[in-house]
Each structure stands twice: as structure tokens, then as C-alpha cells.
Amino acid sequence: MLGTVFGYDHFRDHQRAIIDHLTAGRDALVIMPTGGGKSLCYQIPALLRDGVGIVVSPLIALMQDQVAALGQFGVRAAFLNSTLTAAQARDVEQALVAGHLDLLYVAPERLMQPRTAELLDQVRIALLAIDEAHCVSQWGHDFRPEYLQLAAIRQRWSTVPCIALTATADDPTRHDILERLELADARAFVSGFDRPNIRYRVTAKSSAKRQLLAFLTDGHADQTGIVYALSRRKVEQIAEFLNEEGLPAIAYHAGLERDVRAAVQRRFTREPHIIVVATIAFGMGIDRPDVRFVAHLDLPKSVEAYYQETGRAGRDGLPAEAWMAYGLADAVMLRQFIDQSDAPDGQKRIEHAKLNTLLGYCETTRCRRQVLLEYFGDRLDEPCGNCDTCLEPVETWDGTVAAQKAMSCVYRTGQKFGAAHLIDVLLGRATEKVQRFGHDKLSTFGIGEELTQPQWQSVFRQLIAANFIEVDAEFGQLRLCDASREVLRSQQTVTLRRDPAKKRKSARRRIATEAVGLDNAEQQEIFDRLREKRLELARKQNVPPYVVLHDRTLMEMVKTRPTTLDQMSALDGVGRVKLDRYGQIFLDVLADHHGIA
Ligand code: ADP
Ligand code: ZN
């Protein structure tokens, strides 16, 4: 089935065990990172078992593409949601009742309608798959009340095997899923969380826009990716800036009209090269496999959120990059946000703890992948060799004296100022503000001239990140805490990372060629032709290009140059139906090129 229908030659991780388990009629909870291959876990059992597999997904905008992708494999799939006209819905219902469907995707609210329930009572159900199952939990940020009603369906279909799937790994969410969906007897399959093809980078923020532009043009030109920013305004500004710089960027946030958002999602899945600048409202359920980068201009909410967002890169297994610019102001602002919120103290403590973990990740001098995986209870014995700290090891320095100077300056100025002013004092700059407060007369005025302004920013950032200095909730001023006193009394030393000065260009270029995975200009040219053909085929059928064939498959064509259908069928991602449909077409492209060369 895996080979003949989907054209893949081996299962990943737990896929086989999950498929066997579900096909045998048992329940399962599947926790797999984004891009891990969750869909096959219910698609294959739905084909193997009698009847139709029902897939509940909250993402109606994407059902159409999922169904189109299955159609390309020769799987009989359809969807029912509010985007269909009455006539279209009737066609689907007829196909369903006539037993002509292998898989039916349904929005949760649709499934709960009496009419749908009645229809489904007339057919044999192979299995129930609940995608994005964490939506049932109030603990996470994607809670959807409709999901709570799915328990009723479970009761109604008590003999139908159920599979709940999510990429969210924490215990409270897992617990909620099992309890609320009444999956007490389900077996849990938790996959390894490593995404080895994603290269992680965190860089100290200086000029975010310029840094982003450098990141995009130097290594990711002509690639597709997502840029995350915190506010709607910033999203719009960045998209505009990128457009002015000649990059194809579009904005996406929850403030846009529904149809504008749908159009962005559509363009994102269909256009060969596009950059979406978005708030976190964008991305759930985005399964474009060739997203080559995810860039964060602001800190995400937690390590979980970071991992989910960055996990949208490189689902096709080819090299991809997760890049983040992070600075002093981010650390200050997020601490303030939490303290200012109306949440009860217990919740604030949890959020501070989550933020500490995230800041710890940003400031780490260890392999980033090791830090991430440890957080998810996974482990990696050796440093990964594919993150910034592995590629360009970070030096550390004894920052105890610098920390003491910074803290004395906080103290002498009355614990009423932010980092910018404190740095002016440390550097001995008699600005108007410094003079107004008489800070040029302080003993700490000019005691920090051995470091530059960016270096002091780095010091303050790290002291705040590690809770050696506190941030005032209301005005963001810095003040001392117990940990500061220990440092001031020399009872505690402070080790700091030395932020690398400037990225070496050559290092970036390397990523660019690796990401494309092609060795020379000739290969690139063939690849481009294959892609042109693919785009043409996709446009004709009005489906996203990757639904026809993945980049990965085209790349294998370039490398192995098949000349027969048989050789073509050996490629990853070429199943029986795709071979029939496209095999010869792509062989012709390859042969043409051969003729010319
Ligand atoms: P997610 O877990 O995020 O839902 P998907 O099910 O969308 O992930 O799968 C991610 C990508 O991996 C898809 O493009 C899919 O075709 C591919 N994939 C899944 N399983 C395999 C496999 N066994 N071999 C090769 N590719 C696979
Ligand atoms: Zn590493």
C-alpha cells in the first residue's frame, strides 16, 4: 500500500505500528512533530478497512488541497464543509451513501449537525480520525469548543476505531485529549521529536529589518517561507518593506477579512516562491512540504510554540532553516506582558517558567537541538552539527565584573530606568537625560567604557534572560533582586555568551546550495524545467504544484535521470496512479534535455 499507492519505500518511525494497530480496530493517540507524517497513519487504515474513514479537522480552508492531493494518488476522498454549494454537498453525500468514498474530511461543527449524523448512520465507518486533537484542550492556545462535542460521536460509534493526532507534546494536553475524547484505552505512540533537516539559528537583534533582508537574500533567494512577527502592524510593515525590496511577500493576520485570508492561504499553497509575513494566526494545518525557512522577528510564546512554528519548515525532509532575531527589548517586553496580564498568580508563574525556558534556549551556548529535544523528553547524544552554535561555536566570557557594574548602575540610578539610559551612564555619555537626573555625577558614570554599546546590550539582555535583574511590570525599568545581590557580593559568578560579531557570508551561501541540493548549473537547469512542467500540470488541474510531485521527487529525477517508466516508479513519491499520469510526461522532459545537452 505504501509503495503502490503513495510511492514511498519505507515507513517512518511509528507509522507501521500505528497503521497495524488501527487496522486491527483499536484506538490510538499519535504524537508526532509537525511534518512527521501523521496523515498516512489514518489514510492507509481507512483504505485497508471496510467502509469510509471520517477525518475531523478544524481547518476547512485546507481540506480542498488535502482531498486534491489524495485524488492524485488515486484515493477516493471528499470533504464536507461550509465552502461547498448545496449541489456540491449533495454530490458528496450521494457518493458517500453509495459507498464510493475511502475518506471523508469533515469540519467538527458539520459532523455535529443532525443531518450529517443521519447520513453517516447509513454507511459503514472504517475509522474516526481526529486531527489537531489538542484543540479539545483548554490548556493549549488552540482550544475549540466544537471539539468537546466529539465525545458524543465517540459514544455513538463505540465500535469504530478512533485515532487522535497532534504535534503538541506536553502532559496536560495529552491528558485532556485522552479524557475529553474518551480515549482511556487508546495506545499512545510518541515519535521522536528531532527534525534533523532543520537548521536552527538565533541571532542577536540589532536592526531586525536589515537582518531579515540579509537572511532572505543571502541564502534563501527564490524560496518559500514564513516570517512571523507579533503585531498586525508590524506584519504589514514588514510585508511592505520586503515588497519594496523586490521580494514577493504578502501579509496575513487575524484582522484581515476572511476572504483576504483565504486568498493568502491559497497563494501560499500554489505559488512557486512566496513569503508570507504573519502573526501566529497563520500556519495551523499549513502542509506545504517545501517551506524552506521560518523566520521569527519576535519571540514566540513558549518553546512548544517555537517548535510548532519552526516545524512548518522542511516537511519534505530537505534542508530548511529556522531563524530568529532576538534582542534585549524582547526579553524586557515579554516579562512585562506576563506581569501586566490579569491571569492569576499561579498562571503567571507557569508563564514565567515557560519564558525562562525559551530565553534559556535563545542564550544557550550548547547545541540548540540538544536543548530543544531535552525539553521534549527526547535526547541526542552528540551535538547535531546543524545549528548555529554547532557550526560557529560560541565563546563565553566571565561577565561577573560587567554584571556587577551593570547592577551597581541600576542601584545608583534608583532602579527607575531602562537599559538604554543605564548604558549611556555606563559609557559616560552626558546626554540631556543623563544630565537632567545628575547621573553624570554618579560613581558609575563612565565605568563601563571597556565594552561597546552592543556589548552592554548583550550583557543586559543576558542578565534579564537569566533573571539576574528584574523588569518592572508597569514601566519596564530594571531593578535588583536576590540573585543580583549574590552577584554584587561576589557569591555568584556570571558566565556570558559572546554574541558573534557579523555573520560570515560564505557560511550562508553554503546553506543556499545545500538547500537546493543540486551540484551544478546543468542540474539546476533540468530541475527548473521539471518544475516548469509541474507548474503547468498543477495549473491545469487547479491544484498546488507539490500535489503533483514533491521537489524531492523532482530532485531525485535530476540525480538519477530515469529513462524508463520502471526506473521512474522507483522514485520516492511516485505511486501507481502518479506513474500513469505523469511518468511519461516527465520522462519526455528529461529526454528533451538530454537531446539538447
Ligand atoms: P503531519 O504530521 O504534519 O501531518 P504529513 O502527514 O503532512 O505531516 O506528512 C508530511 C510529509 O511527509 C508529507 O509530504 C508526506 O507525503 C510525507 N511522508 C509521510 N510519510 C512518509 C513516508 N513514509 N515516506 C516518505 N514521505 C512521507
Ligand atoms: Zn547543534
Each residue of 235-294: pLDDT tens digit? 999 999 999 999 999 999 999 999 999 899 989 988 999 999 999 888 876 778 899 999
- 169 phi, psi to nearest 5 deg: -105, -10
CA gap 367, 262 in Å, rounded? 38
Q: Average pLDDT of 94-110? A: 95
Cβ atoms of 573 and 583 within 8 Å: the answer is no
Q: Which of 17-21, 296-300, 513-517 has the lowest mean pLDDT?
A: 513-517
More reliable by pLDDT, 138 or 285: 138
The pLDDT of residue 514: 53
| Phi, psi angle pair for 317, to nearest 5° | 85, -5
pLDDT at residue 512 is higher than 80: no
Which of 14-23, 32-41, 87-96, 219-228 is least confident? Answer: 32-41
Residue nearest to atom 26 of ligand 1 (CA): 8
DSSP structural state of residue 414? T
Residue nearest to atom 20 of ligand 1 (CA): 37
Compute, in angstroms, the gap from residue 292 CA to the centroid of ligand 2: 19
> What is the average pLDDT across 379-402?
94
Which pLDDT score is estimated for 522? 84
Among all ligands shown, which has an atom nearest to the Cα of 382?
A: 2
The predicted pLDDT at position 513 comes to 46
Q: Which of 5, 13, 39, 103 to mutate to test the pocket of ligand 1 (most atoms within 8 A of CB)?
A: 39
d(CA 72, CA 55): 18
Band (pLDDT 50/70/90 cuts) for residue 140 is low
pLDDT above 90: residue 94:
yes
Q: What is the pTM of this model?
A: 0.79
- The residue whose CB lies within 8 Å of the most ligand 1 atoms, and thus the one to mutate among 5, 12, 65, 555, is 12
Q: Quick check: 169 pLDDT over 90?
A: no
- Per-residue pLDDT, averaged over 527-533, amounts to 90
Q: Whose atoms come closest to the Cα of 387: which ligand? A: 2
What integer pLDDT is reported at residue 345 of this predicted model? Answer: 87
Q: Kindly tell me if the per-residue pLDDT of 75 is higher than 50.
A: yes
> Is 306's pLDDT higher than 90?
yes
Distance 191 CA to ligand 2 centre (A): 20
**Following CA atoms 512, 514, 517, 522 in sequence, which dihedral angle do they give, to the nearest 10 degrees?**
60
The binding-site residues of ligand 1, defined as CB within 6 angstroms of any ligand atom, are: 8, 11-12, 15, 32, 34-40, 287, 289, 315-316
Q: How far apart are CA 426 and CA 445, in angstroms?
A: 5
Which of 1, 2, 5, 8 most suits a substitution to test ligand 1, by most atoms within 8 Å of the C-beta? 8
C-alpha cell at 595: 537531446
For residue 370, report the distance from its CA to the centre of ligand 1, in Å. 24
Cβ 25 vs Cβ 75: under 8 Å:
no
| 389 CA to centre of ligand 2 in angstroms | 6
Q: Give the number of whichever ligand sits closest to the CA of residue 287.
A: 1
pLDDT in tens, 488-510: 999 999 999 998 776 555 444 44
**471 in Cβ contact with 464 (< 8 Å):** yes
CA of 537 from ligand 1 middle (Å) equals: 22
pLDDT value at residue 515: 52
Under the banding of pLDDT at 50, 70 and 90, the label for residue 131 is: very high
Are 570 and 563 spatial neighbours (Cβ–Cβ below 8 Å)? no
- Domains of the chain by start residue, with CATH: 15-190 (3.40.50.300), 198-394 (3.40.50.300), 396-496 (1.10.10.10), 518-596 (1.10.150.80)
Tell me how far apart the alpha carbons of residues 205 and 224 are, in angstroms, rounded to a whole number.
23
Mean pLDDT, the chain, integer: 90
The residue nearest atom 4 of ligand 1, judged by CA position, is 38
Q: How far is the CA of 121 from the centre of ligand 1 (A)?
A: 31
Provide the pLDDT for residue 594.
72
Give pLDDT, residue 285: 65
Q: What is the pLDDT of residue 349?
A: 85
Which one, of 424, 227, 460, lies nearest residue 330 by Cα? 460
Reported confidence tier of residue 378, pLDDT bands at 50, 70, 90: confident
